[in-house]
Structure 1
Amino acid sequence: MKIRMKNHEAPVSEKQWRAIIDCDSSYDGLFIYAVLTTGIFCKPSCRSRVPNRGNVIVFGHAEEARTAGFRPCKRCKPTDRLGPIEDWVARITQYIDDHYKDPLTLEALSYHCHGSPYHLQRTFKRWKGMTPGEYIQRTRIRKAKELLAGSDKPVAEIGTAVGMPSAPYFITLFKRKTGYTPADFRKLLREKTR
Protein backbone atom coordinates (compact mmCIF):
# COMPACT_ATOMS: atom_id res chain seq x y z
CA MET A 1 0.00 0.00 0.00
CA LYS A 2 1.32 3.42 -0.94
CA ILE A 3 1.55 6.11 1.73
CA ARG A 4 -0.86 8.95 1.07
CA MET A 5 -0.16 12.31 2.69
CA LYS A 6 -3.04 14.63 3.57
CA ASN A 7 -3.07 18.24 4.63
CA HIS A 8 -4.34 17.49 8.16
CA GLU A 9 -1.33 15.32 8.96
CA ALA A 10 1.12 17.33 11.01
CA PRO A 11 4.80 17.23 11.77
CA VAL A 12 5.55 16.32 15.35
CA SER A 13 5.30 19.09 17.97
CA GLU A 14 7.98 19.64 20.62
CA LYS A 15 5.79 18.04 23.32
CA GLN A 16 5.00 15.03 21.13
CA TRP A 17 8.65 14.64 20.15
CA ARG A 18 9.68 14.63 23.82
CA ALA A 19 7.03 11.92 24.50
CA ILE A 20 8.39 9.81 21.63
CA ILE A 21 12.05 10.01 22.62
CA ASP A 22 11.17 9.40 26.30
CA CYS A 23 8.82 6.48 25.38
CA ASP A 24 6.22 8.21 27.58
CA SER A 25 3.21 5.92 27.98
CA SER A 26 1.10 8.76 29.42
CA TYR A 27 0.71 10.00 25.81
CA ASP A 28 -0.58 6.66 24.52
CA GLY A 29 -4.12 7.13 23.29
CA LEU A 30 -3.54 10.85 22.66
CA PHE A 31 -1.72 10.43 19.36
CA ILE A 32 -0.01 7.90 17.08
CA TYR A 33 3.19 8.69 15.25
CA ALA A 34 4.25 7.32 11.89
CA VAL A 35 7.68 7.20 10.28
CA LEU A 36 7.78 8.04 6.58
CA THR A 37 10.95 6.07 5.85
CA THR A 38 9.73 2.80 7.38
CA GLY A 39 5.99 3.07 6.69
CA ILE A 40 5.26 2.02 10.29
CA PHE A 41 3.14 3.71 12.96
CA CYS A 42 3.68 3.42 16.72
CA LYS A 43 2.42 4.46 20.13
CA PRO A 44 4.45 7.19 21.87
CA SER A 45 5.61 4.55 24.40
CA CYS A 46 7.17 2.32 21.72
CA ARG A 47 10.70 1.16 22.58
CA SER A 48 11.81 1.07 18.94
CA ARG A 49 14.84 3.04 17.80
CA VAL A 50 14.15 6.79 17.82
CA PRO A 51 13.46 7.92 14.24
CA ASN A 52 14.71 11.06 12.55
CA ARG A 53 12.33 13.82 13.65
CA GLY A 54 11.93 15.09 10.08
CA ASN A 55 10.48 11.70 9.07
CA VAL A 56 7.79 11.68 11.78
CA ILE A 57 4.17 12.71 11.35
CA VAL A 58 1.36 12.37 13.88
CA PHE A 59 -2.19 11.10 13.71
CA GLY A 60 -5.07 11.26 16.15
CA HIS A 61 -5.54 7.49 16.12
CA ALA A 62 -4.36 4.26 14.52
CA GLU A 63 -7.09 4.07 11.86
CA GLU A 64 -5.97 7.40 10.37
CA ALA A 65 -2.41 6.08 10.08
CA ARG A 66 -3.61 2.82 8.55
CA THR A 67 -5.80 4.68 6.05
CA ALA A 68 -2.78 6.80 5.06
CA GLY A 69 -0.95 3.58 4.16
CA PHE A 70 1.14 2.96 7.27
CA ARG A 71 1.26 -0.44 8.94
CA PRO A 72 1.25 -1.06 12.72
CA CYS A 73 4.47 -1.67 14.63
CA LYS A 74 4.93 -5.30 15.71
CA ARG A 75 6.71 -4.25 18.90
CA CYS A 76 4.24 -1.80 20.49
CA LYS A 77 1.11 -3.14 18.73
CA PRO A 78 -0.67 0.23 18.42
CA THR A 79 -3.93 -1.39 17.30
CA ASP A 80 -4.32 -3.71 20.32
CA ARG A 81 -7.22 -3.05 22.63
CA LEU A 82 -5.29 -3.44 25.86
CA GLY A 83 -3.57 -0.34 27.13
CA PRO A 84 0.16 -0.22 26.59
CA ILE A 85 1.07 -0.90 30.21
CA GLU A 86 -1.45 -3.74 30.64
CA ASP A 87 -0.28 -5.26 27.38
CA TRP A 88 3.36 -4.97 28.39
CA VAL A 89 2.75 -6.56 31.81
CA ALA A 90 0.72 -9.32 30.10
CA ARG A 91 3.67 -9.98 27.76
CA ILE A 92 6.09 -10.12 30.71
CA THR A 93 3.76 -12.50 32.55
CA GLN A 94 3.41 -14.71 29.48
CA TYR A 95 7.18 -14.76 28.99
CA ILE A 96 7.64 -15.92 32.60
CA ASP A 97 4.91 -18.55 32.20
CA ASP A 98 6.58 -19.86 29.05
CA HIS A 99 10.18 -19.73 30.36
CA TYR A 100 9.91 -20.45 34.10
CA LYS A 101 12.38 -23.34 33.68
CA ASP A 102 15.08 -20.97 32.41
CA PRO A 103 17.37 -18.83 34.54
CA LEU A 104 15.25 -15.66 34.71
CA THR A 105 16.75 -12.42 35.94
CA LEU A 106 15.36 -8.92 35.85
CA GLU A 107 17.93 -8.08 33.18
CA ALA A 108 16.86 -11.06 31.04
CA LEU A 109 13.20 -10.11 31.35
CA SER A 110 13.90 -6.49 30.49
CA TYR A 111 15.89 -7.58 27.42
CA HIS A 112 13.19 -9.94 26.12
CA CYS A 113 10.29 -7.64 27.00
CA HIS A 114 11.90 -4.37 25.89
CA GLY A 115 12.19 -2.11 28.92
CA SER A 116 14.64 -1.04 31.58
CA PRO A 117 15.01 -3.36 34.60
CA TYR A 118 13.98 -0.58 36.99
CA HIS A 119 10.84 0.34 35.00
CA LEU A 120 9.93 -3.32 34.52
CA GLN A 121 10.23 -4.05 38.26
CA ARG A 122 8.23 -0.99 39.30
CA THR A 123 5.50 -1.37 36.68
CA PHE A 124 5.06 -5.12 37.15
CA LYS A 125 4.72 -4.70 40.91
CA ARG A 126 2.20 -1.89 40.51
CA TRP A 127 -0.01 -3.97 38.16
CA LYS A 128 0.44 -7.48 39.58
CA GLY A 129 0.91 -6.65 43.26
CA MET A 130 4.22 -8.52 43.36
CA THR A 131 7.68 -8.21 41.87
CA PRO A 132 8.67 -10.23 38.79
CA GLY A 133 10.91 -12.33 41.07
CA GLU A 134 7.96 -13.14 43.33
CA TYR A 135 5.85 -14.05 40.31
CA ILE A 136 8.62 -16.32 39.02
CA GLN A 137 8.81 -18.07 42.40
CA ARG A 138 5.02 -18.43 42.57
CA THR A 139 4.95 -19.91 39.06
CA ARG A 140 7.74 -22.37 39.83
CA ILE A 141 6.09 -23.49 43.09
CA ARG A 142 2.75 -23.98 41.29
CA LYS A 143 4.45 -26.10 38.61
CA ALA A 144 6.35 -28.03 41.28
CA LYS A 145 3.07 -28.84 43.04
CA GLU A 146 1.68 -30.19 39.77
CA LEU A 147 4.75 -32.38 39.26
CA LEU A 148 4.73 -33.59 42.87
CA ALA A 149 1.07 -34.54 42.53
CA GLY A 150 1.40 -36.22 39.16
CA SER A 151 4.72 -38.06 39.28
CA ASP A 152 7.12 -40.06 41.42
CA LYS A 153 10.16 -38.08 40.28
CA PRO A 154 12.71 -37.32 42.99
CA VAL A 155 12.39 -33.91 44.64
CA ALA A 156 15.74 -32.72 43.26
CA GLU A 157 14.65 -33.63 39.72
CA ILE A 158 11.40 -31.70 40.16
CA GLY A 159 13.34 -28.70 41.41
CA THR A 160 15.51 -28.79 38.31
CA ALA A 161 12.44 -29.24 36.09
CA VAL A 162 10.92 -26.01 37.41
CA GLY A 163 14.09 -23.94 37.13
CA MET A 164 15.61 -24.44 40.58
CA PRO A 165 18.58 -26.79 40.18
CA SER A 166 19.74 -26.33 43.78
CA ALA A 167 17.78 -28.93 45.76
CA PRO A 168 18.36 -27.25 49.16
CA TYR A 169 17.14 -23.91 47.80
CA PHE A 170 14.12 -25.55 46.17
CA ILE A 171 13.17 -27.37 49.39
CA THR A 172 13.63 -24.23 51.51
CA LEU A 173 11.62 -22.02 49.14
CA PHE A 174 8.88 -24.62 48.75
CA LYS A 175 8.51 -24.92 52.53
CA ARG A 176 8.52 -21.14 52.99
CA LYS A 177 5.78 -20.72 50.39
CA THR A 178 3.57 -23.70 51.24
CA GLY A 179 4.39 -24.63 54.84
CA TYR A 180 5.51 -28.10 53.73
CA THR A 181 8.64 -29.65 52.32
CA PRO A 182 8.12 -31.08 48.84
CA ALA A 183 8.24 -34.64 50.27
CA ASP A 184 5.69 -33.78 52.98
CA PHE A 185 3.46 -32.09 50.40
CA ARG A 186 3.50 -35.19 48.19
CA LYS A 187 2.79 -37.42 51.20
CA LEU A 188 -0.13 -35.22 52.24
CA LEU A 189 -1.61 -35.34 48.73
CA ARG A 190 -1.40 -39.12 48.66
CA GLU A 191 -3.06 -39.45 52.05
CA LYS A 192 -5.93 -37.25 50.86
CA THR A 193 -6.53 -39.38 47.77
CA ARG A 194 -6.77 -42.66 49.65
Structure 2
Amino acid sequence: MNEQMWRAIVDCDPAYDGQFYYGLQTTGIFCKPSCRSKTPNPENVRIFLTTGDAKKAGLRPCKRCRPEEPFRLTSEEELAQKAAAFLTQHCHQPLSLQQIAAELFVSPYHLQRCFQKVMGVSPAKFLLRKRLKAAQHLLGNTQESITTIALQVGFQSSSHFSAVFHKETGCSPTAYRQCQSQGTKKPTASL
Protein backbone atom coordinates (compact mmCIF):
# COMPACT_ATOMS: atom_id res chain seq x y z
CA MET A 1 0.00 0.00 0.00
CA ASN A 2 1.46 3.33 -1.01
CA GLU A 3 1.03 6.65 0.80
CA GLN A 4 -1.53 7.92 -1.72
CA MET A 5 -3.77 4.88 -1.14
CA TRP A 6 -3.44 5.21 2.62
CA ARG A 7 -4.37 8.93 2.43
CA ALA A 8 -7.43 8.00 0.34
CA ILE A 9 -8.53 5.51 3.03
CA VAL A 10 -7.92 7.92 5.92
CA ASP A 11 -9.67 10.80 4.11
CA CYS A 12 -12.53 8.54 2.86
CA ASP A 13 -11.81 9.98 -0.59
CA PRO A 14 -14.53 9.04 -3.12
CA ALA A 15 -12.20 9.96 -6.00
CA TYR A 16 -10.46 6.58 -5.53
CA ASP A 17 -13.62 4.45 -5.53
CA GLY A 18 -13.36 1.80 -8.23
CA GLN A 19 -9.59 2.22 -8.51
CA PHE A 20 -8.88 -0.09 -5.58
CA TYR A 21 -10.50 -1.73 -2.55
CA TYR A 22 -9.09 -2.38 0.88
CA GLY A 23 -9.62 -5.41 3.03
CA LEU A 24 -9.27 -5.80 6.77
CA GLN A 25 -7.75 -9.00 8.05
CA THR A 26 -9.24 -8.39 11.50
CA THR A 27 -12.89 -8.13 10.38
CA GLY A 28 -12.81 -10.16 7.17
CA ILE A 29 -14.50 -7.43 5.11
CA PHE A 30 -13.45 -5.26 2.19
CA CYS A 31 -14.47 -1.67 1.48
CA LYS A 32 -14.28 1.19 -0.99
CA PRO A 33 -11.75 3.92 -0.14
CA SER A 34 -14.67 6.28 0.59
CA CYS A 35 -16.18 4.02 3.28
CA ARG A 36 -17.02 6.05 6.39
CA SER A 37 -16.17 3.23 8.78
CA LYS A 38 -13.56 3.71 11.50
CA THR A 39 -10.04 4.29 10.15
CA PRO A 40 -8.24 0.94 10.29
CA ASN A 41 -4.73 0.23 11.52
CA PRO A 42 -2.44 0.21 8.47
CA GLU A 43 -0.91 -3.14 9.43
CA ASN A 44 -4.35 -4.79 9.10
CA VAL A 45 -5.05 -3.41 5.60
CA ARG A 46 -4.60 -5.32 2.33
CA ILE A 47 -5.13 -3.64 -1.04
CA PHE A 48 -7.08 -5.27 -3.89
CA LEU A 49 -7.58 -4.01 -7.43
CA THR A 50 -10.93 -5.77 -7.90
CA THR A 51 -13.75 -7.02 -5.72
CA GLY A 52 -13.07 -10.49 -7.14
CA ASP A 53 -9.53 -10.43 -5.75
CA ALA A 54 -10.87 -9.50 -2.33
CA LYS A 55 -13.40 -12.33 -2.43
CA LYS A 56 -10.71 -14.83 -3.50
CA ALA A 57 -8.77 -13.78 -0.39
CA GLY A 58 -11.79 -14.83 1.70
CA LEU A 59 -13.19 -11.38 2.44
CA ARG A 60 -16.84 -10.36 2.25
CA PRO A 61 -18.20 -6.98 1.07
CA CYS A 62 -18.90 -4.21 3.58
CA LYS A 63 -22.58 -3.65 4.25
CA ARG A 64 -22.03 0.07 4.81
CA CYS A 65 -20.28 1.11 1.56
CA ARG A 66 -21.43 -1.83 -0.62
CA PRO A 67 -18.29 -2.11 -2.77
CA GLU A 68 -19.90 -4.58 -5.19
CA GLU A 69 -22.66 -2.26 -6.32
CA PRO A 70 -22.07 -0.45 -9.62
CA PHE A 71 -20.09 2.73 -9.15
CA ARG A 72 -22.46 5.70 -9.17
CA LEU A 73 -21.97 9.06 -7.60
CA THR A 74 -24.75 10.59 -5.59
CA SER A 75 -25.61 14.19 -6.43
CA GLU A 76 -23.78 15.27 -3.27
CA GLU A 77 -20.65 13.30 -4.24
CA GLU A 78 -20.75 14.70 -7.76
CA LEU A 79 -21.03 18.26 -6.43
CA ALA A 80 -18.19 17.69 -3.95
CA GLN A 81 -15.95 16.27 -6.68
CA LYS A 82 -16.69 19.19 -9.00
CA ALA A 83 -15.94 21.62 -6.17
CA ALA A 84 -12.71 19.78 -5.27
CA ALA A 85 -11.59 19.87 -8.91
CA PHE A 86 -12.40 23.58 -9.12
CA LEU A 87 -10.55 24.32 -5.88
CA THR A 88 -7.53 22.31 -7.02
CA GLN A 89 -7.43 24.06 -10.37
CA HIS A 90 -7.86 27.57 -8.91
CA CYS A 91 -6.17 27.20 -5.51
CA HIS A 92 -3.66 29.96 -6.28
CA GLN A 93 -6.46 32.50 -6.72
CA PRO A 94 -8.38 34.31 -3.99
CA LEU A 95 -11.64 32.39 -3.63
CA SER A 96 -14.73 32.72 -1.49
CA LEU A 97 -17.44 30.17 -0.83
CA GLN A 98 -19.87 32.43 -2.69
CA GLN A 99 -17.63 32.48 -5.79
CA ILE A 100 -17.22 28.69 -5.81
CA ALA A 101 -20.97 28.16 -5.31
CA ALA A 102 -21.78 30.59 -8.13
CA GLU A 103 -19.37 28.75 -10.43
CA LEU A 104 -21.16 25.46 -9.64
CA PHE A 105 -24.69 27.00 -9.75
CA VAL A 106 -25.62 26.08 -6.16
CA SER A 107 -26.15 28.01 -2.95
CA PRO A 108 -23.15 28.51 -0.67
CA TYR A 109 -24.99 26.72 2.15
CA HIS A 110 -25.70 23.65 -0.01
CA LEU A 111 -22.12 23.54 -1.26
CA GLN A 112 -20.70 23.80 2.27
CA ARG A 113 -23.01 21.07 3.61
CA CYS A 114 -22.43 18.63 0.74
CA PHE A 115 -18.67 19.19 0.59
CA GLN A 116 -18.29 18.72 4.35
CA LYS A 117 -20.40 15.55 4.28
CA VAL A 118 -18.60 13.93 1.35
CA MET A 119 -15.02 15.13 1.82
CA GLY A 120 -14.95 15.30 5.61
CA VAL A 121 -13.58 18.85 5.60
CA SER A 122 -14.96 22.24 4.64
CA PRO A 123 -14.12 23.75 1.25
CA ALA A 124 -11.98 26.34 3.07
CA LYS A 125 -9.94 23.66 4.85
CA PHE A 126 -9.57 21.68 1.60
CA LEU A 127 -8.31 24.83 -0.15
CA LEU A 128 -5.95 25.60 2.71
CA ARG A 129 -4.46 22.09 2.54
CA LYS A 130 -3.94 22.40 -1.22
CA ARG A 131 -2.19 25.73 -0.78
CA LEU A 132 0.02 24.47 2.03
CA LYS A 133 1.03 21.34 0.10
CA ALA A 134 1.94 23.51 -2.89
CA ALA A 135 3.92 25.80 -0.56
CA GLN A 136 5.76 22.85 1.00
CA HIS A 137 6.72 21.65 -2.47
CA LEU A 138 8.00 25.09 -3.46
CA LEU A 139 9.85 25.57 -0.17
CA GLY A 140 11.63 22.26 -0.60
CA ASN A 141 12.38 22.51 -4.31
CA THR A 142 12.96 26.17 -5.17
CA GLN A 143 14.88 29.15 -3.84
CA GLU A 144 11.93 31.53 -4.28
CA SER A 145 11.40 33.98 -1.45
CA ILE A 146 8.76 33.28 1.19
CA THR A 147 6.75 36.24 -0.08
CA THR A 148 6.85 34.99 -3.67
CA ILE A 149 5.77 31.50 -2.59
CA ALA A 150 2.98 32.93 -0.44
CA LEU A 151 1.59 34.89 -3.38
CA GLN A 152 2.04 31.99 -5.82
CA VAL A 153 -0.01 29.59 -3.70
CA GLY A 154 -2.86 32.04 -3.09
CA PHE A 155 -2.12 33.91 0.12
CA GLN A 156 -2.50 37.69 0.10
CA SER A 157 0.53 38.40 2.31
CA SER A 158 3.64 36.64 3.54
CA SER A 159 2.81 37.38 7.19
CA HIS A 160 -0.58 35.68 6.92
CA PHE A 161 1.03 32.78 5.04
CA SER A 162 3.73 32.37 7.70
CA ALA A 163 1.20 32.43 10.54
CA VAL A 164 -1.07 29.87 8.86
CA PHE A 165 1.87 27.68 7.82
CA HIS A 166 3.20 27.65 11.38
CA LYS A 167 -0.22 26.93 12.86
CA GLU A 168 -0.90 24.01 10.48
CA THR A 169 2.57 22.43 10.31
CA GLY A 170 4.15 23.37 13.63
CA CYS A 171 7.09 25.23 12.08
CA SER A 172 7.77 28.38 10.12
CA PRO A 173 8.27 28.30 6.34
CA THR A 174 11.94 29.16 6.86
CA ALA A 175 12.45 26.31 9.34
CA TYR A 176 10.68 23.92 6.97
CA ARG A 177 12.96 24.99 4.10
CA GLN A 178 16.08 24.59 6.27
CA CYS A 179 15.07 21.07 7.27
CA GLN A 180 14.46 20.21 3.61
CA SER A 181 17.79 21.64 2.42
CA GLN A 182 19.79 19.95 5.19
CA GLY A 183 18.15 16.63 4.53
CA THR A 184 17.09 16.34 8.15
CA LYS A 185 13.77 14.92 9.05
CA LYS A 186 11.18 17.48 8.09
CA PRO A 187 8.80 18.71 10.73
CA THR A 188 5.63 16.69 10.85
CA ALA A 189 2.68 18.33 9.23
CA SER A 190 -0.96 17.56 9.85
CA LEU A 191 -1.88 18.07 6.21
TM over 0.5: yes
* Segments ≥4 residues shifted beyond 3 Å: none
Counterparts of residues 171-190 of structure 1 (less than 5 Å): 171-190=162-181
- Corresponding position: 1:130 with 2:138: no
- Corresponding position: 1:94 with 2:90: no
| 2:79 partner SS | helix
Deviation (angstroms), 1:165: 2.4
Q: Is the 8 A contact 1:96 1:136 kept in 2?
A: yes
Mapped to 1, the partners of 2:170 and 2:93 lie a distance apart of: 25
Deviation readout 1:136-173 (Å, 9 max, x if unpaired): 11110000001111100000000000000211000000
Mapped to 2, the partners of 1:94 and 1:160 lie a distance apart of: 21
Counterparts of residues 52-131 of structure 1 (less than 5 Å): 81-131=72-122
Identity of aligned residues (%): 29
Deviation (angstroms), 1:82: 2.1
Read off the aligned partner of 1:180 and give its amino acid letter.
Answer: C
Deviation (angstroms), 1:189: 0.8
Read off the aligned partner of 1:112 and give its amino acid letter.
Answer: E
Q: Is the 8 A contact 2:91 2:153 kept in 1?
A: yes
Deviation (angstroms), 1:128: 1.1
Bigger radius of gyration: 1
Deviation (angstroms), 1:193: 6.4
Q: Provide the aligned length of Structure 1 versus Structure 2.
A: 115
TM-score, scaled to structure 2: 0.58
Deviation (angstroms), 1:127: 1.1
Mapped to 1, the partners of 2:74 and 2:156 lie a distance apart of: 37
Deviation (angstroms), 1:108: 0.5
Name the structure 2 match of 1:144.
Answer: 135
Read off the aligned partner of 1:186 and give its amino acid letter.
Answer: R
Name the structure 1 match of 2:158.
Answer: 167
TM-score, scaled to structure 1: 0.57
Query: How large is the Cα RMSD of the aligned pairs?
Result: 1.6
Deviation readout 1:62-90 (Å, 9 max, x if unpaired): xxxxxxxxxxxxxxxxxx94222111100
Mapped to 1, the partners of 2:77 and 2:110 lie a distance apart of: 14
Mapped to 2, the partners of 1:83 and 1:89 lie a distance apart of: 10
| 1:163 partner SS | coil
Q: Is the 8 A contact 1:156 1:165 kept in 2?
A: no
Read off the aligned partner of 1:144 and give its amino acid letter.
Answer: A
